[in-house]
Amino acid sequence: MKFSRRRIDEPEINLIPFIDVLLVVLIFLMLSTTYSKFTELQINLPAAEAEQLRERPGEIVVAVAADGRYAVNRQPIDGRSVELLTSALASAAGGRSETVVIISADALTAHQAVVNVMDAARRAGLSRLTFAAQAAPAAGNAGR
- pLDDT, one tens digit per residue, over 100-125 is 888 888 888 888 888 999 999 889 88
Question: Residue 21: pLDDT above 60?
Answer: yes
Number of domains in the chain: 1
Residue 121 lies in a domain: yes
What's the pLDDT band for 27 if we cut at 50, 70, 90? very high
Residue 31 lies in a domain: no
Residue 21 lies in a domain: no
pLDDT for 141: 52
Residue 114 lies in a domain: yes
75 DSSP β-pair partners: 72
Provide the whole-model pTM: 0.55
Instruction: Report the 3 state secondary structure along 30-85.
Output: HHHCCCCCHHHCCCCCCCECCCCCCCCCCEEEEEECCCCCEEECCEECCCCCHHHH
pLDDT for 48: 63
What is d(CA 58, CA 73) in angstroms, rounded to the nearest whole number?
Answer: 12
Residue 46 lies in a domain: no
The pLDDT tens digits of the residues spanning 34-93 come to: 765 554 445 455 566 666 555 556 888 888 888 888 888 888 888 888 899 989 888 888
pLDDT for 65: 85
Residue 11 lies in a domain: no
Residue 79 lies in a domain: yes
What is d(CA 133, CA 47) in angstroms, rounded to the nearest whole number?
Answer: 7
What CATH number corresponds to the domain at position 73?
Answer: 3.30.420.270
Domain region containing 81? 59-131
Torsions phi, psi for 135 (to 5 deg): -70, 140
pLDDT for 50: 60
pLDDT for 26: 93
pLDDT for 144: 44
Residue 66 lies in a domain: yes
